[in-house]
Structure 1
């Protein structure tokens, strides 16, 4: 059975490839007239680099990705904050969910324990429901897109620093490349956070009251 993460690989590859193609366009000249072979090279390089990035993403620990996405060193997963997330959503009747899972929503429950209780009591019973699987898959997709684009940014920045320290003049990275990748990373980051919260809310809403 294909995992949710593996089923996202084609979409992840496509989104990363699209970002790199746009970067190639800015890097090698928006207003410059290119030959067909140039565009084929842009596509080939973007495809190859995207494949490498997807491979790197697949070996990155999920814990590291979550810390990057939610910019927290501990208790980064959205289920750790399930009580505050449910309080903010007008579609969730907080008194009802609090009554159904008092140990999960108790103010005395620490975030790490809350995450474990959410997984055991709320998520596992509805794990096979289509709406829960879809919400989980969407979160994983944007999480992986965010971490992949950030990896690309770091690799390019490291190359730029190395080139500067060695006073090399070839292949200077255009500022527009950083802008494009920064925008992609920001949009993916916001989407990942929103879909992370939507995922845990979906698991709560999937239960019958």
Structure 2
């Protein structure tokens, strides 16, 4: 998993940079006139401020990446990505997910996959069995690796954008209370929330695809092995 996260680092940075765009636009709309005055009257000061504006978000994103990888527990990311407080991992619902995938023939499931449909299993037991008996044997398959990578990417991006919204909101609130002026306008928050919703939807889809793909690939492998 660490290799997948390393491969995702640049793509994750790009997704987080997209979230900065509405903030920049909002700043330009609400404070563009003041910035223009500084440029015309104090060009040296304006250069320094523009440099700070350009570097600041990049430093902020670097901090976010560090927090995502070393501070924020994966369980919290999964709760956000799946909008579930308890048992957020899609493997805990693999018995439902497999019934909605056209690649999986429920009538000819191998015993390991059939066991996942046992109603007596708890979500934790079902996820553990899916991971141990189904996912691990096929996890190096290119299709499964790609689904897993996309899941981790969108899960981490969701957490990063959520943190960015939280930090932006707190900074904006402090600005409103101290100097009586907003830093970020309402449409920027709306754009960020829509973007967050899209990332959460993408993470959900990738997680379900990974779970169903692992079951389908494992079943095909077992059938091929049986034919031989």
TM-score, L = length of structure 2: 0.81
Identify which of 99, 117, 121 aligns with 1:105.
117
1:52 is matched with 63
1:150 is matched with 162
Which structure is higher in helix share?
2
1:107 alignment partner, SS class: coil
1:140 is matched with 152
Greater mean deviation of Cα atoms: 188-197 or 39-48: 39-48
Q: In the TM superposition, what is the alpha-carbon distance from 1:138 to its structure 2 partner?
A: 0.5
2:211 is matched with 200
C-alpha separation in 2, matches of 1:99 and 1:120: 14
Q: In the TM superposition, what is the alpha-carbon distance from 1:75 to its structure 2 partner?
A: 1.1
1:186 is matched with 197
2:93 is matched with 81
2:29 alignment partner, SS class: coil
Q: In the TM superposition, what is the alpha-carbon distance from 1:159 to its structure 2 partner?
A: 2.5
Q: In the TM superposition, what is the alpha-carbon distance from 1:2 to its structure 2 partner?
A: 5.7
8 Å CA contact 1:27–1:176 kept in 2: the answer is no
2:81 is matched with 69
- Going from structure 1 to structure 2, the CA distance change for 1:18 and 1:123 (only over 3 Å counts) comes to same
Q: Report the structure number with the largest CA radius of gyration.
A: 2
C-alpha separation in 1, matches of 2:200 and 2:148: 16
1:118 alignment partner, SS class: helix
1:176 is matched with 187
8 Å CA contact 1:126–1:203 kept in 2: the answer is yes
Greater mean deviation of Cα atoms: 43-52 or 187-196: 43-52
Q: In the TM superposition, what is the alpha-carbon distance from 1:41 to its structure 2 partner?
A: 5.2
Task: Give the root-mean-square deviation of aligned CA atoms.
Answer: 2.5
Q: In the TM superposition, what is the alpha-carbon distance from 1:169 to its structure 2 partner?
A: 2.0
Q: In the TM superposition, what is the alpha-carbon distance from 1:26 to its structure 2 partner?
A: 2.6
Structure 1 segment 5-20 matched on structure 2, within 5 A: 5-20=5-20
Q: In the TM superposition, what is the alpha-carbon distance from 1:161 to its structure 2 partner?
A: 3.4
1:79 alignment partner, SS class: helix
8 Å CA contact 2:112–2:134 kept in 1: the answer is no
Q: In the TM superposition, what is the alpha-carbon distance from 1:192 to its structure 2 partner?
A: 0.5
TM-score, L = length of structure 1: 0.88
- Structure 1 gap ranges (5+): none
- Structure 2 gap ranges (5+): 40-45, 224-228
2:42 is matched with none
Structure 1 segment 120-139 matched on structure 2, within 5 A: 120-139=132-151
- Going from structure 1 to structure 2, the CA distance change for 1:39 and 1:11 (only over 3 Å counts) comes to farther
Greater mean deviation of Cα atoms: 193-202 or 52-61: 52-61
